[in-house]
């Protein structure tokens, strides 16, 4: 009975001692080591940051931080920081506790990623390091699709336009503009601000070679240059394949001239063609670079002509391409000549009816010549006949009006016959007169 009471009396003090140990341990954990007089190293620096910086020595990294929350049992006497990269390895430095920053220049190449580390040090030693990374930005890439094209000729000098597409840039180092440089017989360079992606350049020599370079500019400097060689344009070659198609009419001849584009346009677009005939003082023209044709009129059949055709671009006109051709003579349909006003009229001797149209009756007796005849004898008949002029035709006598005594047409016939045949024909004429009178009496 007594032994049981003695055991219970021992348990209570042991329990109290255990509780005291637990409470003491918790209190020690809550009290800082420097209060307790225990030597400990600093904690890790906090709020690390890295920025891109530039100085006279080039581009670098500005590495900053804040002091650790637990400094250990003694003050921080320094910070040790370092930077490492694939190309440069690890580079370290030491700074005072009040600076709390490190600068690294030319220790990391542009475009590389660096690892930065810092740790605090006190008399107990170095504390836990804090680490961060920083991607070093790069310069922009090269401009894309660089093109140079001729724009105009001003006072014998060429003006060109240089254009390109934007370069690809690092997000941490954007493009701020473009540097354009042209070098050759004469040089030119300028800075093109954003958002420009083209630049005009004047004063270049005709038919010369130039080097054109464009760089994308940034705060880290220019990127890789986009380079091209540009040869300024010249006059085009002459047109080829000239032909002439002649059309002849009663009003004259016209020619359709046709040609093909030259093989070499002089490195500039053909703007048009001019065809001319120097001997006629005439020309025609077309616009555009394709093959063309035009028509010139006023040619004379049977003559030979030369035509010149030139091609033109912004620099000037080509040498002429010359074609010689002869305009053919086309036969014209024959036309009747107009009647001459001096031609002699038809002879009145055709007017009397043929004696066979009304033959004399067999019962008719001999025809007596009446004294009423205007002509008593053949001599008088001959003397009454007008003399025929070899240079002028005799005027025709009035047509007979009918009746036995109307012998005017007959006298005209006699006059013409007498003048043509002479006196030998008078006898025959008298016989005709007798027949005429006989017929008149019978009617």
pLDDT band at 403 (very low <50, low <70, confident <90, very high): very low
Answer for the pair 119, 128: CB distance below 8 angstroms, yes or no. Answer: yes
pLDDT band at 430 (very low <50, low <70, confident <90, very high): confident
pLDDT recorded at residue 186: 94
Least trusted range by pLDDT, from 71-80, 95-104, 399-408: 399-408
> Domain spans of the chain?
46-135, 144-231, 240-326, 364-390+403-443
pLDDT recorded at residue 14: 57
The average pLDDT across 131-138 equals 93
Least trusted range by pLDDT, from 12-26, 155-169, 292-306, 356-370: 356-370
The average pLDDT across 348-365 equals 42
The larger pLDDT score, comparing residue 149 to residue 4, is at 149
The average pLDDT across 124-137 equals 93
Q: Per the structure block, which two tokens stand in for 59?
A: 């581009």
420: number of CA atoms within 13 Å, CB side? 11
pLDDT recorded at residue 405: 47
Q: Tell me yes or no: is domain 144-231 CATH 2.60.40.10.
A: yes
Residue 73 has pLDDT above 80, yes or no: no
The average pLDDT across 249-259 equals 89
pLDDT in tens, 321-343: 999 999 988 754 444 444 444 44
pLDDT recorded at residue 356: 42
pLDDT band at 352 (very low <50, low <70, confident <90, very high): very low
pLDDT recorded at residue 346: 44
CA-to-CA distance for 376 and 378, rounded, in angstroms?
7
The average pLDDT across 268-282 equals 95
The average pLDDT across 233-257 equals 92
CATH architecture for residues 46-135: Sandwich (2.60)
Residue 418 has pLDDT above 80, yes or no: no
CATH classification code of 240-326: 2.60.40.10
pLDDT recorded at residue 74: 87
What mean pLDDT is reported for the chain?
78
pLDDT in tens, 27-38: 444 444 444 556
Residue 355 has pLDDT above 90, yes or no: no
Domains 46-135 and 144-231 equal at CATH topology level: yes
97 to 34, 63, 66, 68, 74: CA distances (angstroms): 19, 14, 10, 11, 13
């Amino acid at each position: 009975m007594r032994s049981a009471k003695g055991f219970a009396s021992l348990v209570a003090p042991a329990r109290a001692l255990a509780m005291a140990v637990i409470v003491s341990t918790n209190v020690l954990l809550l009290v800082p080591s420097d209060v307790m007089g225990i030597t400990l190293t600093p904690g890790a620096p906090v709020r690390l940051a890295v920025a891109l910086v530039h100085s006279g020595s080039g581009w670098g990294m500005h590495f900053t931080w804040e002091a650790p929350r637990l400094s250990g049992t003694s003050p921080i006497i320094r910070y040790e920081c370092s930077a490492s990269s694939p190309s440069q390895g690890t580079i370290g430095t030491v700074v005072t506790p009040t600076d709390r920053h490190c600068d690294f220049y030319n220790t990391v190449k542009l475009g590389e990623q660096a690892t930065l580390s810092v740790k605090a040090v006190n008399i107990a030693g170095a504390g836990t390091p804090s680490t961060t990374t920083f991607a070093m930005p790069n310069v922009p890439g090269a401009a894309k699709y660089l093109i140079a094209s001729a724009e105009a000729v001003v006072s014998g000098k060429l003006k060109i336009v240089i254009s390109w597409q934007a370069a690809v840039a690092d997000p941490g180092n954007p493009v701020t503009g473009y540097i354009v440089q042209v070098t050759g017989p004469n040089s030119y360079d300028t800075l093109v601000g954003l958002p420009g992606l083209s630049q005009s350049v004047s004063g270049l020599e005709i038919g010369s070679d130039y080097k054109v370079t464009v760089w994308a500019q940034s705060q880290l400097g220019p990127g890789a240059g986009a380079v091209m060689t540009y040869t300024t344009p010249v006059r085009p070659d002459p047109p080829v394949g000239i032909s002439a198609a002649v059309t002849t009419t009663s009003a004259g001849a016209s020619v359709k001239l046709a040609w093909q584009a030259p093989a070499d346009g002089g490195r500039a677009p053909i703007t048009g063609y001019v065809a001319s005939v120097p001997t006629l003082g005439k020309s025609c023209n077309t616009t555009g670079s394709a093959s063309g044709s035009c028509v010139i009129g006023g040619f004379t059949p049977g003559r030979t002509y030369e035509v010149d055709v030139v091609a033109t671009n912004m620099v000037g006109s080509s040498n002429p391409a010359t074609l010689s051709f002869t305009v053919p003579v086309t036969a014209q349909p024959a036309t009747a000549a107009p009647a001459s006003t001096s031609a002699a009229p038809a002879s009145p001797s055709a007017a009397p009816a043929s004696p066979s149209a009304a033959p004399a009756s067999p019962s008719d007796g001999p025809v007596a010549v009446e004294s009423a005849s205007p002509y008593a004898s053949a001599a008088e008949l001959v003397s009454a006949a007008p003399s025929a002029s070899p240079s002028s035709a005799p005027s025709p006598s009035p047509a007979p009006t009918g009746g036995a005594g109307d012998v005017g047409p007959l006298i005209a016939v006699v006059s013409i016959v007498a003048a043509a045949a002479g006196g030998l024909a008078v006898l025959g004429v008298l016989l005709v007169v007798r027949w005429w009178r006989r017929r008149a009496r019978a009617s």
